[in-house]
Amino acid sequence: MLRLGPLAAAGRLLPAGPRLEPPRPAGGRVSFLRCWPPRLPGPVGDGRPLSQQVRAAANSAGGSGGRGLALKTPKGTRDHPPAHVALRDHLLAAVVACFKRHGAAAIDTPVLELRLQTPPLRAPVLPIPSFQWLSSCSERAVVFAMATMQVPFARYLAMNKITNMKRYHVAKVYRRDNPATTRGRYREFYQCDFDIAGQCDPMIPDAECLKIVHEILSDLQLGDFLIKVNDRRILNGVFAICGVPESKFITTCSTVDKLDKVPWEEVKSEMVGEKGLSPEAADYIGEYVQLHGGLDLIERLLQDPKLSQNKLAKEGLGDMKLLFEYLTLFGITGQISFDLSLARGLDYYTGVIFEAVLLQQENDHVEEPVSVGSVAGGGRYDGLVGMFDPKGRKVPCVGVSIGIERIFSILEQRVKAEMLYKKDPKLLKQLQYCEDTGIPLAAIVGEQELTDGVVKLRDVARREEVDIPREKLVDEIRRRLEP
């Protein structure tokens, strides 16, 4: 639940305000621009003073504002007004505090990564999830904005020959797919990554990543959640024993990954129709990937006559068992499910993968249920650093990304709160603001309230105030805001 600041805050529950909807592209689906090789670069503008150019552009172009300068943000991006930034800073502080508790140090890398081109110049191959911008940094290179910070981290490790590091990184990242802004899915968004690089005893850093997700989601009091866990080696083992050729592992993986959104029948028909698997193979896969459970399921699969014969699957299941033993020691297995349908989109995962989802609570006082998808995810990627290293030296890595934007949009939908941004605001003025703008409740925290461990809750319309113990504040606000 949202924590209210020490000054003064006012909670209200209004329908979500109008959101700026970026324009849809003409052709529906959008791909990368491929302007390669570049045309000859020319000078900036036309040499006239910039203010004249602005005026000329404004007169000649017929943009939305009638003056050619776009009065909106690029597709899939948004501005953050002060109340957003304050809430986001609160979330980030909680996440970073957890990362630091676990001994991680922060690094920062450029928003763009470089990919060298060899002559003859050609359209860039994109080996890694990225959002392409073209820039003039040199004729032999293109730059990419990363959709994941694990790739820059791997490059950083390889470049600095670091074989051991526990780091976190909070930054904006970029992705190219079509934004779904109402579900908190943007093209530009903050991400909070925590990764552990280095040779460790099996499953210890993996377990720590899951512990961190558990801590953060608990700290933020987002309600019930579930962390699904799987292992790429188990999935590949399943595919192998079901007769899927190795060349179709990746594509079958991405089909399986849809099981959390669509029923099995649809997934099966995609496997058979689009991916060219036999109906028998698909059915066989279906028997496995619909399984989920805990240690008991792991034990059962370790006894599975076919799966236990597959080397990869056996390794994966053995490690999964070890992982669950650590998670039991951490006391967090209640929120963890070994789920064979979890596949994760990224190709570079090599072992454990996981994803945290929020569970819709019944009796939740929101306007309508909001499906927000996963709020954290990650896994083991032991091969990525080696791809960057000239000699292919491997550095095993495991890490997790916290989807702060989605968490943000959940909190935003649940309780809207704002505060006046004044160092020393007059109380009367703040209450006047509440009355003027229809804010139903004001939470007042002065020195006396701090001493007493209470918050004064004011019914703005009735002008009645009552002291509420801090720990009961959220429940009391919810109760009063019930329709």
Contact between 416 and a copy of itself per CB under 8 A: no
Contact between 97 and a copy of itself per CB under 8 A: no
Query: Measuring CA to CA, how many Å separate 239 from each of 229, 242, 288, 348, 381?
Result: 18, 5, 10, 18, 20
Q: What is the dihedral of CA 158, 159, 164, 169, to 10 degrees?
A: -100
Footprint of a copy of itself on 241-270 (CB under 8 A): 249-251
* Minimum CB distance to a copy of itself, residue 273 (Å): 18
Q: In this structure, what token pair is assigned to residue 97?
A: 């505090």
Which residue type sits at 171? A
Footprint of a copy of itself on 111-140 (CB under 8 A): 111-118, 123, 125-128, 131-140
* Minimum CB distance to a copy of itself, residue 313 (Å): 19
Task: Return the residue matching tokens 């060298």.
Answer: 116
SS3 400: strand
* Minimum CB distance to a copy of itself, residue 394 (Å): 13
Task: Return the residue matching tokens 């496997």.
Answer: 271
Footprint of a copy of itself on 146-165 (CB under 8 A): 155-156, 158-160
* Minimum CB distance to a copy of itself, residue 439 (Å): 17
Contact between 347 and a copy of itself per CB under 8 A: yes
Which residue type sits at 439? I
Footprint of a copy of itself on 446-475 (CB under 8 A): none
203 Cβ contact partners less than 8 Å away, ≥ 6 residues apart: 319, 322, 323, 326, 352
Footprint of a copy of itself on 9-28 (CB under 8 A): 22-23, 25-26
User: Which is nearer to a copy of itself, 251 or 308 (by Cβ)?
Assistant: 251
Contact between 188 and a copy of itself per CB under 8 A: yes
The correct pick among 19, 423, 462, 463 for binding a copy of itself (CB under 8 A) is 423
Cα(323)–Cα(315) distance, rounded to whole angstroms?
12
User: Which is nearer to a copy of itself, 324 or 408 (by Cβ)?
Assistant: 408
* Minimum CB distance to a copy of itself, residue 360 (Å): 29
Cα(4)–Cα(92) distance, rounded to whole angstroms?
15
Contact between 334 and a copy of itself per CB under 8 A: no
- Spell out the alpha helix ranges (H) of 396-472: 404-414, 427-437, 447-452
Q: In this structure, what token pair is assigned to residue 322?
A: 């070890």
* Minimum CB distance to a copy of itself, residue 480 (Å): 27
Number of residues that bind a copy of itself (CB under 8 A): 115
Q: Which among 11-19, 29-37, 314-322, 331-339 is the span making contact with a copy of itself, rule CB under 8 A?
A: 29-37
Distance from first CA to last CA of the chain, Å, rounded? 19
Footprint of a copy of itself on 376-395 (CB under 8 A): 383, 387-390, 392
Rg (alpha carbons) of the chain, rounded to whole number? 26
What number of other Cβ atoms are within 10 A of residue 308's Cβ? Answer: 14
Furthest CA-CA distance within the chain:
78
Q: What are residue 378's phi and psi, to 5 degrees?
A: 175, -160
Contact between 339 and a copy of itself per CB under 8 A: no
* Minimum CB distance to a copy of itself, residue 109 (Å): 5
SS3 206: helix
Contact between 72 and a copy of itself per CB under 8 A: yes
